[in-house]
Amino acid sequence: MKKVIVASLLAASSLLAHSALMSCFDNGDGTVTCEGGFSDGSSASGTNFFVRQGGNVLITGRMDQHSEFTFKKPEGAFEAVFDAGEGHQVVIQGKDIAQ
C-alpha cells in the first residue's frame, strides 16, 4: 500500500505546471542542435535528451546550460527525444528536422 502511495506521488511530481517544448535544427555540418524549453519559460538545462534509431538509443545526455544539445546526425531515420518525465516527452522525427 505504502509503495503504491509513494509511486503515485512520484508520478504526480512529474506532472508539472507546464508543457515541454523542443525544436531541432540541422546545422548543415553533419550535426543537429536541439533546443528544449518549457511553456512557462523554465530552463530545460539538465533535462534528459536522447536520440534513438529503431529500438536503440544511440546518443544520450542532458540539455546543457543553454537548454541545448548538439549531436552528430546519424545515418538513416532517427528520432530526437526530449525527455522531461512522464507525459512530458517531445519527439521529433529526423526527417522533420529542416536543413
Partner 1 sequence: MIKVALAGQPNCGKSTIFNLISGIKQHIANYPGVTVEKKSGVFSHKETKIEVVDLPGTYSFSSYSLEERVAKEFILDENPDVIVNIVDASNIKRNLYLTFQLLEIGKPVVVVLNMMDVAKRRGMEINVERIASMLSCPVVAASGAKGEGKEAIVEAILQAKNAPYNEFKINYEELEPTIKEVEALLEEDTLQVSKRWVAIKALEGDSVILEKISHLNTTIKEKRLAFHNTHDKDAESFLAALRYDSADVIYHQSVSEKQLGKKTVTDVADSIVLNRWLSFPILFLIIFLIYQSSIVYGYKLTDYTWPILAAFKNFIIAISPAPDFTQVPMITDFAIWMVNSANALLNYIPIFLILFALIAILEDVGYMPRMAFILDRIFKKFGLHGQSTLPLVLGGAFVGGCAVPGVMATKGIADERARMATILSVPYMNCLAKVPFYTLLLGAFFEAQMALMMFFISTVTLFIALIVARLLTSTVLKTRETSPFVMELPPYHLPTLKGVVFRAIERVWMYIKKVGTIVLAVAIVLFAMLELPGLSKEQASSYEQRSQALLDAFYQQTANTSYGERLNTREHVAELLNVYDDYRARRMIATPDQAEKIDATFEANHPFYFTFVRPPADNAEARAINRHLRNLSRDRRGILQEIKNTKIENSLLGHIGRSLEPITQFAGFDWKINVAFLSSFAARESAVATLGSIYENNAADNLRAEEAMAQNSGYTPLHAAAIIIFMILTPPCIATMIVVKLQTGSYRWMLFAIFFPITLGLIVSSVLFTLGNQFGWSGVEAFALFYGLVVAITLFVGSLPQKRINWSGGLVKINLNQEEK
Whole-angstrom Cα distance, residue 73 to residue 53? 11
Number of residues that bind partner 1 (CB under 8 A): 38
- Supply the Cα-derived Rg of the chain in whole angstroms: 15
Contact 63, 70 (CB under 8 A): no
4 lies in the binding site for partner 1 (CB under 8 A): no
- Candidate list 29, 55, 75, 76; residue touching partner 1; CB under 8 A: 29
| Site membership for partner 1, residue 13 (CB under 8 A) | yes
Of the candidates 97, 84, 99, the one whose C-alpha atom is nearest the C-alpha of residue 34 is 97
- Smallest CA-to-CA distance from 44 within 22, 15, 29 is with 22
40 binds partner 1 per the rule CB under 8 A: yes
* Shortest distance in whole angstroms from residue 9 CB to partner 1: 5
The binding site for partner 1 (CB under 8 A) comprises 5-6, 8-10, 12-13, 15-19, 21-23, 27-29, 33, 35, 37-43, 45-46, 61-62, 64-66, 68, 96, 98-99
